[in-house]
């Protein structure tokens, strides 16, 4: 069984935020108003964190999304089992089970689980562009990056119809597909011949807040000082 992981090369990332837009569009994440943003209620599953890199010219940013920890603190505190670690290593969020208690948002050391404070609304024709493969979450629950799990379902379905196994390129999240700088690589961390496993062992690789023991499956690459 695969163990899905994502590698982000910060030396390639230009901070263009194409991944942020792609994620919102793919996962029916509604727009936030300036007022909501002012109150710290911006709804995004990925956001860019300014990252100071000494000696580096130009903007430097770190795309931050759910780190899909192998030891996720958020799942331990969920009183309804709405969030759990799936057998394939994806930290899943079952929206109909979520009661919006926000224990998980507080337990997450990366602050990447977001509570939606308002009902989803799309202006005018934008409503027609929603993705039918992803549900519309009601107000008052916690949302998060799912590694575009619905794409995995569709990819498996397609591969099965064609009578073959899932190929590495069949399933990639929207952010990875969109990144114009090709800074993101997605795949099976347990596949020793895969690109992701090789990059994860790169000397430039590091994980965020590794010292907490959360064992994230989002791995960043950056040249040391």
* Angle CA 145–147–148, to nearest 5: 95
User: Residue 52 or residue 128: which is nearer to another protein going by CB?
Assistant: 128
CB of 96 to another protein, least distance (A): 4
Among 16, 41, 62, 95, binds another protein (CB under 8 A): 95
How far is it, in rounded angstroms, from Cα 136 to Cα 169?
A: 27
Among 135, 139, 206, 209, binds another protein (CB under 8 A): 135
Among 42, 62, 77, 92, binds another protein (CB under 8 A): 92
Asked whether position 85 contacts another protein by CB under 8 A, the answer is no
User: Residue 40 or residue 87: which is nearer to another protein going by CB?
Assistant: 87
Number of residues counted as binding another protein (CB under 8 A): 22
| Range 159-178, binding another protein (CB under 8 A) | 160-161
Among 19, 23, 43, 90, binds another protein (CB under 8 A): 90
Closest to 9 (Cα-Cα) out of 198, 181, 177: 181
Asked whether position 126 contacts another protein by CB under 8 A, the answer is no
Interacting residues of 215 by C-beta distance below 8 A, sequence separation 6+: 69, 70, 71, 207
Place of tokens 């791995």: 219
How far is it, in rounded angstroms, from Cα 85 to Cα 188?
A: 16
Place of tokens 């952010």: 175
Place of tokens 């909501």: 36
Task: Show the binding pattern over residues 141-160: x = contacts another protein (CB under 8 A), - = does not.
Answer: -----x--xx--x---x--x
Q: For the chain, what percentages of helix, strand and coil (3-state, to nearest 5) are there?
A: 30, 15, 55
The residues of the shown chain that bind another protein, judged by CB under 8 A, are 84, 86-87, 90, 92-97, 132-136, 146, 149-150, 153, 157, 160-161
């Amino acid at each position: 069984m695969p163990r899905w992981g994502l590698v982000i090369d910060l030396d390639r990332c230009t901070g263009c935020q194409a991944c942020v837009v792609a994620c919102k569009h793919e996962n029916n994440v509604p727009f936030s108003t300036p007022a909501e943003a002012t109150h710290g209620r911006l709804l995004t599953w990925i956001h860019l964190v300014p990252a100071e890199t000494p000696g580096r010219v130009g903007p430097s940013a770190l795309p931050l999304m759910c780190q899909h920890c192998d030891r996720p603190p958020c799942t331990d505190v969920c009183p309804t089992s709405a969030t759990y670690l799936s057998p394939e290593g994806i930290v899943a969020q079952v929206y109909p089970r979520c009661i919006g208690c926000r224990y998980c948002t507080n337990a997450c050391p990366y602050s990447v689980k977001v509570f939606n404070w308002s009902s989803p609304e799309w202006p005018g024709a934008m409503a027609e562009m929603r993705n039918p493969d992803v549900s519309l979450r009601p107000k008052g629950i916690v949302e998060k990056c799912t590694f575009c799990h619905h794409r995995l379902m569709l990819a498996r379905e397609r591969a099965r119809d064609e009578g073959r196994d899932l190929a590495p390129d069949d399933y990639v999240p929207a952010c990875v597909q969109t990144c114009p700088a090709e800074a993101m690589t997605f795949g099976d961390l347990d596949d020793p011949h895969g690109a992701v496993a090789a990059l994860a062992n790169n000397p430039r690789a590091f994980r965020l807040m590794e010292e907490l023991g959360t064992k994230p499956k989002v791995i960043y690459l950056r040249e040391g000082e």
